[in-house]
Structure 1
């Protein structure tokens, strides 16, 4: 799906949808800035190892933490822009031969995606709460050398999954509305 309001399945760009679009875009931008920061960290570690034989503590932990966080921050935007990986062979064939069937299939796909993301979010939330309440039990790294609490990562995962569930729902509703618009025009 694209941000173009005339595209099939496009969301309106006003009101709640505009605010939601800003949230999704902001999460994507934060993920992009995080990637840039991660690149600087990795290059600094390489320089410190090579030139001074003094690696930066915790870089491997921060990289693994970051990769997961970035993926979940950018997941909803990937869906919103139509870049989520899927096979479009059947959808392309249905676009000309049976556009209503295509809209129904896309709506079903997105509703199933929303349901799956909602299930994942419901399973992650208790983990976030436990990690928040007991950070001493939920950490990454080596105690005494470098430790990183896990609750921020779990919270980012929850946020990303929850927003992606909302994005799946919005796309499904947009597909359903295009189905009714086409039906009303005929």
Structure 2
């Protein structure tokens, strides 16, 4: 009964991880489109897309951390697993125990990243003063969109002034979310085992190069 409840909770966690993966794919498609526009405008009209470098840097962080949980879910996180693959084939019980131990270590490391980045996210978000009156600048007018745009202008920004600027907090939120959700998935792997563990085998055993 308890295992059934845990697996039901895991299924919801997995659904959110898949949705985040799709969101990361959409960001990637938008990035590809922007880069194509930059190439076309640069070569045909001698008018490069302003801020494409900043967009690439900003988007890559979103893509990596939005897709991280689903990478963990499917067992495709990059790691050296030759020894682990041998242990799974030769001594399955020891291999399973070692896998759960490594997943527990990974869970701890993901939690440490969340612990380190969370204060940076809250500081960047609070710099916008979305919900609190700012100490300096224009006071809230009561109009949602006008106050929202004014608050965005107060945010801690990344980018080049006069070319492209974007608030830091969405990227830091993506880092917190991606690592937190990856930690949760690693935790479920420790409890229930790695359903995708059979994929972690050596290249020699699969015929891959």
In the superposition, the TM-score normalised over structure 2's length comes to 0.74
Question: Offset of 1:138 from its aligned partner?
Answer: 2.5
Find 1:66's aligned residue among 59, 81, 86.
59
Could you tell me how far 1:26 is from its partner in structure 2? 0.5
Which of the two has higher C-alpha Rg?
Answer: 2
1:57 aligned counterpart, secondary structure = coil
Work out whether residues 57 and 145 of structure 1, in 8 Å CA contact, stay in contact via their aligned partners in 2: yes
Deviations for 1:49-84, whole angstroms, at most 9, x for unmatched residues? 112222222111010111111011111111111111
Report the Cα distance in structure 2 between the residues aligned to 1:121 and 1:28, rounded to whole angstroms: 19
Query: Contact 2:27–2:63 (CA<8 Å) still a contact in 1?
Result: yes
TM-score, with structure 1 as normaliser: 0.83
Q: Does 1:149 align with 2:142?
A: no
Indicate which of 161, 186, 190 corresponds to 1:168.
186
Q: Which moved more, 1:12-21 or 1:37-46?
A: 12-21
C-alpha RMSD of matched pairs (Å): 2.0
Equivalent residue of 2:186, what SS? helix
Aligned pair count reads: 166
What displacement does 1:145 show?
2.7
Is 2:120 the partner of 1:127? yes
How far the C-alpha of 1:97 sits from its partner, in A, is 2.5
Matches of 2:28 and 2:127, distance apart in 1 = 29
Unaligned runs of 5+ in 2: 129-153, 195-209
Q: Is the 8 A contact 1:31 1:74 kept in 2?
A: yes
- Match for residue 144 of structure 2? none
- Inter-partner Cα distance in structure 1 for 2:53 and 2:118: 26
**Paired residue for 1:30?**
23
SS at the partner of 1:83?
coil
Q: Is the 1:12–1:18 Cα contact (8 Å) retained in structure 2?
A: no
Q: How does 1:1-186 map to 2 (within 5 A)?
A: 15-135=8-128, 136=154, 138-175=156-193
